[in-house]
Structure 1
Amino acid sequence: MSDSALPVRTSGTSQATPRPARSKWLALVIIALAQLTVVLDGTIVNVALPDAQAALGMSDSDRSWVVTLYALAFGSLLLLGGRIADYWGRKRSFIVGMAGFALASGIGGLATTGGMLLAARGAQGVFAALLAPAALAMLNVTFPKGPDRAKAFAVYGTIAGGGAAIGLVLGGVLTEYFSWHWCLLVNVPIAIVAIAMAIPILTESKADGDTRYDVPGALLVTLGLGSIVYGFSRASLGWDRLDTIGFLALGVALLVVFVLVEGRVSNPLLPLRVVANRVRGGAYITSLLVGAALLGGLLYLTLYFQIVLKFTPLHSGLSSLPMTASIIAGATIVSRILPKVGPRILMTIGPVFAAGGLFWLSHLTVENEYFVQILPGQILLGLGLAMVFVPMQNVALSGIEARDSGVGSAAVTATQQIGGSIGTAVFTAIYSSAVAAYVIANPSQNPLPSLVSGYSSVFMAASITVLCAAPIAFILVNVKRRAFAGSQR
């Protein structure tokens, strides 16, 4: 049996004493609340963006950076955040990360300039990079094996997949009845509740042994990922630009050096054993591709609702509700059949469903035919995401040593966030090119058809992106059904 099919190993870590069943499930509530907060903020501002852009006098480029900057800071610092959680303590990192996230959210909610909002979004990403891996690592050590582990990861996976869609609905409600500011301010009371529950309920755990930080590795991976995402963001101005090519090449070079360094240092930021495992590697690549399609694609669906169809923020958020419902319903079914069929089949079929939903959305028109043009695509996309996210979180941490729980958790979250950053940047470039091409070919005073052409191109690109995850999951996530089920007992 490969290590990918084994429960979490407990060597080399300072573990909390076994917790009562009630305390364990209360811990899951706290962890789920933190995960929901982090995922929500990837999309909750999407609905508020048109209002925020007008109020703060932001350009279209700045508007996209409100989304990209959060995901960039979040994704590029996650590995470091995961190691801090392992070494400093996961409960301590959780509380500090949640408090800092709330503070940054408060600043963003009170922003009076575009620069202030962008700075707050970057700070949110920094503290989310500490909070998210600490939360997932605590889940990993709280539910090391047994049927409860499958249930806990099903809850977590549902939030990971559905939280983005819930963010669109909540953002619509807050923007419609309060203001766009509350899309950020809402995190403050949620954080207060989570911290108040975490202090008495969560127990501390951290890695023993060598806890020196890999500073060169942290600098290389942060600069490398940041350079790649920034390079893609410049592609909206042209793929042949010197800065586009230069930053992309620099990012790749820095990441190559990072891998070489990690193979040589005694206490690496990202032990290569974490990602070299075939099954976990497949989960990470799948997470990267699905994250790109999900976070990048949902932004343009929101813009289509508000700019083309003239939906109010609330109407726009409610129009995204069927996808949320299909994710939740799909996750309920998937969590029940997962031990019987194993993750491989689900993680192969899921991207096909999601790609079908995005392909359906690529046929949008200026006319509002929601039940024909949009609803079927949302349902297919939601079901596909449920089939991917529920098993993916579990598979990505299967067989990992408890000492590496924080960095392993960070790796799977980082792939999704970096995928979202790259996806948003690349899709922005595709959108701009498609709009420009349509205007040249079809001169008209009505800008809406050109915008729809751009949105359709984005959904088509997102469909192809997520479809690539299907063969990767089929080939790499080769966990036998019996082996996976055995790890759940």
Structure 2
Amino acid sequence: MSSPSTTTEAPPASRHTARLGTVLVVIVTAYLMVGVDSTVVNVALPDIQQDLGFSRTGLSWVLNAYTLAFGGLLLLGGRVGDIVGRRRTLTVGALLFAGSSLLGGLATDSGWLLAARAAQGVGAALIAPSTLALITTNFPDGPRRHHALGVYTSMAGIGASIGLVLGGMLTSWASWRWSLLINVPIGIGVALALPRLVTETPRHAGHFDAAGALTGTAGMTSLVYAFIRVSTQGWSDTLALLAFTTAAALLAGFTFVESRAVQPIMPLRLFSDRNRAGGYAGVLLLPASMFGAFYFLTLISQRVLEFSPLRAGFAFLPMTVVLFTTVRLVPRLLPRLGAKPLILTGMTLLVGASVWLWRLRPDDGYATGLLGPLLLVGMGVGLSLMPLNATILARVQPHEAGAASGLLQTLQWLGGTLGLSVLVTVFGTATRHASGTPAAILTEGSARAFGVGALIALTALLVTSFVIRGNRPENSAA
């Protein structure tokens, strides 16, 4: 029998580090679930169409219903976390996400599935800003927070890629329904773990900015819908133009309301810091150029290279490996180099990837046409996204952490959605009167879209270069 002297208790620092590690696992698992769900149904769309009788146009709403609810309600989700507590908000969001995933997996008609996907978007809007805010408030500024943000960023970056692989596996081996049902045990597990492992943040008493929540959410939803409508109906569509006009009026009203609100849902003073404003511009423009590339490369891999859904998903793994490796190094580089050099290097690589894809031809294979750009995307996103997050959150007051992170997530997902819609519109315009083989038309139209993506990435590079100052996060946070 061991003597009492042989049993030693872990030092307090070790226990604290272990606790923070467990907290990080729970938080990033919740966010990974959201990221995976943005693409997990993509490769399952043909099976969903066959089972539930979607039309070609209606099928796109399986993706759009989720994106509209998610992007439109993110600011509201961030403010709810500030008022009622971020852990509580994340718990409710995880349970709603799990419940709506169960309903979606059991859907017997198209309306049922679309309602479930919209409910998933609401759950995701509660989850996303709460996860980032909990990292900000649970991890002290410095190396530990940078490490946590690095892991979090890797989950945000690889979630979409994992979704493609996972969706291909579940659809091929079981059924498209499992691409939704897999969220059920994960969401319940996160909801059960949160009260046991994560400390609740203080609740900030005050009135709820109902006018700001209404105008901001309605304005962003109208804007997202307008771009999605344009991607299928064209720029002359009356309903799309009406949605753009409505969005402009609502967002102008939102700005007016927020400038006068005592406790605004989105404090406009968040933009008063030059570095933070540049960071927000970066997280809007970066996914705007990359989400479209993801979409078109998925089509090219299956329709031009004739990959199966599962093989198409695995084709993105090199990008995932490079991204994950890069973000593991960024927390070590950030204190030495500062955020700006890493951001500019990463965005330069993203411009290079888009230009490379712009020159894509129908006879290019995976190794010669797709692999190189995917590697550049993985490294570019890995170098730029986490420093952008750190720049935005560097000097945020604790009581505004939810609003700041909610705005960050809103711009990131809204940028991706709007960017994809713009690139799809470019693709449609380029191929409307094109002649040739389907593979040649798809490749040519995609190349045109990649060219516009390169311009968006270049804009991101120029904006962050001129707006963000070269201060390191530690210094800027002082």
* TM-score bin, normalised by smaller chain: over 0.9
Shift of residue 110 of structure 1? Answer: 2.3
Q: Do the aligned partners of 2:285 and 2:460 also contact (CA within 8 Å) in 1?
A: yes
TM-score by length of 1: 0.90
User: How far is 1:293 from its partner?
Assistant: 2.2
Letter in 1 for 2:466: I
For the residues of structure 1 that align with 2:428 and 2:108, how far apart are their CA atoms?
A: 28
- Are the counterparts in 1 of residues 92 and 191 from structure 2 also a CA contact under 8 Å? no
Q: Is the 8 A contact 1:291 1:415 kept in 2?
A: no
Q: Specify which of 374, 396, 401 is matched with residue 378 of structure 1.
A: 374
The answer for the alignment partner of 1:318 in structure 2 is 314
CA-to-aligned-CA distance 1:116-145 (integer Å, 9 cap, x gap): 222222111111111111111111100131
Letter in 1 for 2:209: D
Give, in angstroms, the shift of residue 487 of structure 1. Answer: 6.7
**Is the partner of 1:480 in helix, strand or coil?**
coil
CA gap 1:182/1:195 in 2 versus in 1, 3 angstroms: same
Q: CA deviation at 1:219?
A: 0.7
CA RMSD of aligned residues (A): 1.9
Between 60-69 and 328-337, report the one with greater CA deviation.
60-69
1:37 aligns with 2:28: no
Correspondence for 1:146:
142
Aligned to 1:302: 298
- Amino acid across the alignment from 1:407: A
Note closer, same or farther for the CA distance 1:145–1:478 as it changes in structure 2 (3 Å cut): same
Question: Residue in 1 aligned with 2:158?
Answer: 162
Q: C-alpha displacement at 1:448, in angstroms?
A: 2.7
How far 1:261 sits from its partner (Å)? 0.9
Equivalence for 2:427: 431
Report which stretch shifted further, 281-290 or 458-467: 458-467
CA contact under 8 A between 2:230 and 2:237: conserved in structure 1?
A: yes
Check the 8 A contact 2:142/2:474 in 1, yes or no: no
- Aligned: 1:415 with 2:411: yes
- Could you tell me which of 451, 454, 466 is aligned with 1:460? 451
Cα gap change, 1:121/1:293 in structure 2, threshold over 3 Å: closer, same or farther? farther
Cα distance in 2 for partners of 1:416, 1:90 equals: 20
Question: Is this contact kept in 1: 2:97–2:124, CA < 8 A?
Answer: yes
Which residue matches 1:266? 262
**Residues in 2 aligned to 1:51 and 1:360: alpha-carbon distance in whole angstroms:** 33
Structure 1 residue runs of 5 or longer lacking an equivalent are 1-18
**Aligned pair partner of 2:216 in 221, 239, 254:** 221
Partners of 2:130 and 2:70 in 1: how far apart?
13
Q: 1:235 aligns with which of 220, 225, 230?
A: 230
Give 3-state SS (helix, strand or coil) of 1:233's partner. Answer: helix
* Contact kept in structure 2, 1:349 and 1:387, CA below 8 Å: yes
Question: CA 1:23/1:488 → structure 2, altered by over 3 Å: closer, same or farther?
Answer: farther
Report the Cα distance in structure 1 between the residues aligned to 2:127 and 2:80, rounded to whole angstroms.
10
**How high is the sequence identity, in percent, across the aligned residues?**
39
How far does residue 400 in structure 1 lie from its aligned partner after superposition? 0.6
1:20 aligned onto 2:16:
yes
CA distance in 1, matches of 2:427, 2:51: 24
> 1:117: which partner in 2?
113
1:223, distance to aligned residue in structure 2 (A)? 1.1
- How far did residue 30 of structure 1 move? 0.5
Deviation at 1:259, TM superposition (A): 0.9
- Tell me the equivalent position of 2:334: 338
Q: Deviations over 1:54-86 (max 9, x none)?
A: 333323333333223212211111111111111
Letter in 2 for 1:160: A
Give the C-alpha shift of residue 334 in structure 1. Answer: 2.1
**Structure 1 counterpart of 2:324, from 315, 328, 331:** 328
| 2:195 alignment partner in structure 1 | 199
Higher relative contact order (CA 8 A, sep 6+): 1
- In the aligned structure 1, how far is the partner of 2:359 from the partner of 2:327? 27
Quote the offset at 1:337 in angstroms. 0.9
Q: Return closer, same or farther for 1:465/1:124 CA change in 2, 3 Å cut-off.
A: same
Residue 465 of structure 1: SS of its match in structure 2? helix
SS at match of 1:44: coil
Equivalent pairs, count: 463
